[in-house]
Amino acid sequence: MSLPSQAAALTANGLRHVPQRLGGSLVVVVGIAGVVAVLIPVLAMYLGFRATLRGDGRDDRAIVLSRAAEDESESSLSRDAVAVVANAPGVRRDASGEPLVSAEVILPAPVARKRDHSDVSVTMRGVGAQYFALRPELRLIAGRMFRPGNQELVVGAAARAQFEGLDIGNQVRLQDGDWTVVGVFAGGNGSRESELITDATTAMAAYKLDSFNSMTVALSSPGALAPLRERLAADARLFVVVRSEPEYLEGAASGVNRLLRLVTYAIGSIMALGALFAALNSMYAAVASRATEVATLRAIGFAAPAVAIALLAEALLLALAGAALGVALAYAGFNGVTISTLGGALFDSQLVYSLSVSVPLVAGTIGLACALGLAGGLLPAIRASRASIAEGLHEK
Amino acid sequence: MRFLPLVWAGLWRRPLRSILTAICIVIAFVLLGLLEGVNAGFARAIANAHRDFLVTNTRVRGGAPMPISAMAEIQSLPGVKEVAPRAYFMGRDRDPSLKSSIVAIATYPELFFQMLPGLRVTPAALEALRADRAGVLATPALLDARGWKVGDRITVQSMTAKIDGSTDWTFDIVGTFDTPLANAPAYFGVINYAYYDGYRASDRGTAEMFYVHIADPNRAVAMSAAIDRIFANSSHETRTRSQQARAELQAKQMGDVEFFTDAIMVAVLFTLAFLTANTLRQALHERAREFAVLKATGYSGVRVLSLAYAEALLLCLPPAALGLLIARLLAPLAKADIGAVVVSPRVAAAGLICAACLALLGAALPARSLARMPIAAALGKG
């Protein structure tokens, strides 16, 4: 018999006897399933958060902040600065010749989270008239747009689903009394759907503010960024920096991002290590309990490598079974669950995102499970194939 | 006959299996210790927060700050002991490579330090701040981070302009204060409200927060409502909460931390229970004959059972303790990011109880079947 067919025969034989060694085999399955079932939601949380933050970055859009400001909440732009930037070359104009820009102000709006009724805050963004033209990925899906001069809000669909009191017709208590929800917008993959929008000038009047936080401009082309940046830097009236949107989003909410990454990798690696030793343990036990069997097989002519390969294959298949179980648990429990955590545009405002048990995520964790199974099976397999036949036959 | 050496020998019959199981237990308890530490950190922040200490904010955050005159109105409420204002000073180092902001609380320092639980300052430092209008007291962590020392005169660029149009603020570092109760090092300073308010160009005569110390912690809710009632329907409506309520809120804002940590802990424990039970089952079963011999030589059934349980405990407890110890050593590494991982004696005790349960449960089934097995049958085994 050739080596592959020997290995296949031995694997089949080994698997047939799994029921007799059920405890040990289940340790591998349950151990790996535990890792996968924990790792998938934790990773999905981190990936969902990161994807939502970086969501809709386009390199033909740029964010203008005041110099030294790392994010919108720290930035402050005067009306004059906004006018200068809007008319700079390189800024795209719409059909009627108006510059495609939105000068924005961000403010916290207190809301209650539906799930636990806890008080949290979301970002209320005062935007310019061109907001939707500038962000074609967003569109109004219900109700109507706010009218400048009225204290009206249009809410993001994600925010509306996650927080109480954001349905059309609801009043939200903010500065200067109640603000009415008049519409819902949706679209894009980013953080904007976690926000409420209103007219910037109206918000600034109500909050007695005289400067904007940030400004989004559409570029005539991605290449227009560098000249625009130089030109604005050279303008003595201005104290601003321009970043392309992807560049800006990359740096946003780095604190929460770092935290989630740390937690994800810490938990993931500790659990993987634990599962590795669990797999090692039970594969060694499997080998030990079959010492006589292995020696007999080798005595009747099975090659040592075939024995090793069969053991590895068994470990791999058990790991795969565990991975399948873990994926099923994680999918049932967490797929499509929408959560909110810190991470909005203001330091304490909420970002809404959903956990998606995606194909790459599942593939990645299954890969990890296989690696764990193989690593756990390798040493015991080598030991089994090297053990002396004579001693093995004598062992009870 | 000696009991412990027998247990010990049993454990080392299959050293590889015992060691691998022990390693799994160590690893699992590192994780459990850290996760429980996160929970405990949040719980401690809430428990440390005082109920007799209220914070009054503007009702709408981001709205106009409250006039400082509101302080007198709050003070006039029966049951209020002291009130201190807070305005927030935020600035940056003039060296743009130092990105993090510099934050200071502008307040009435004497009242502030007297009222605020969890801050420790020497009378000399407080006196120095009183004597120097432009003085600042900073935490040692802030001084270290910036390379400053007491006696330095520093210039900080702020978003708040001064009346002369400049955004450069100069302070004298006159002393330090400690935050012994905080979970993480604190990076902030305390400055004189009079100096800050006297020089700022906008929002003069306002505070964005009042600290209120009340006589009776049990009246925190009623007092909060009473304060908010004073300003209801005024141009500066307020929202007052006890420090404890605020800490709870903060923990919730982070996200559903406890749900996640609990879910992971359950998964880890379940997996571990499975593994330990399996190891113990194997270890005890393959020695059925030895146990029978012990019984035949006069060991009582209870004695044999206790041998089995002792072996299980010996397998689980020391690795669990080691894992918790490692978690305790690792916890400070997470401090900068998480801020609150407390592997306290309580967390450790809970962990060890968990480990003991794990051992006893894992040993229960095989031990029972051992105890019930007739000696003759067991002697004939294997």
Per-residue pLDDT, A124: 93
Q: What is the mean pLDDT of each run of 10 residues along chain B (382 residues)?
A: 79 86 91 84 73 80 78 90 89 67 88 83 92 92 88 87 86 90 78 92 87 86 86 79 75 69 84 86 83 83 85 92 91 65 83 91 84 76 55
Residue ranges of A 73-102 with Cβ closer than 8 A to chain B: 74, 76
Q: Report the 3 state secondary structure along B316-336.
A: HHHHHHHHHHHHHHHHHHHHH
ipTM over 0.85 threshold: no
Per-residue pLDDT, B95: 67
**pTM for this prediction:** 0.76
Inter-chain CB proximity B17 and A120 less than 8 Å: no
Residue ranges of A 331-350 with Cβ closer than 8 A to chain B: 339-342, 348, 350
Residues A142-167: tens digit of each pLDDT: 999 999 999 999 999 999 999 999 99
Inter-chain CB proximity B271 and A34 less than 8 Å: yes
Q: What is the DSSP string of B40-106?
A: HHHHHHHHHS-TTEEEEEESSTTSPPEETTHHHHHHTSTTEEEEEEEEEEEEEESSTT--S-EEEEE
Q: How far is B271 from chain A (nearest CA, A)?
A: 6
- Specify the higher pLDDT residue, A287 or B210: B210
- Using the structure block, give the residue that is written with the tokens 């030589």: B297
Across chain A, what does the average pLDDT equal? Answer: 87
Inter-chain CB proximity B382 and A342 less than 8 Å: no
Indicate the domain borders of chain B. 4-47+255-379, 53-215
For B234, the closest chain A residue by CA position comes to A176
Indicate the domain borders of chain A. 3-54+255-394, 68-238
Radius of gyration over every alpha carbon of chain B, rounded to an integer in angstroms: 30
d(C-alpha B325, C-alpha B327), whole Å? 5
Backbone angles phi, psi at A76, to 5 degrees: -145, 125
Q: Which of B13, B14, B16, B100 is best to mutate for the A interface (most A CBs within 10 A)? A: B16
Contact (Cβ atoms closer than 8 angstroms) between residue A383 and residue A304: no
Average pLDDT value for residue range A301-314: 87
Q: Which of B61, B252, B271 sits opposite A31 (nearest CB)?
A: B271
d(C-alpha B45, C-alpha B186), whole Å? 14
Q: How far is A264 from chain B (nearest CA, A)?
A: 11
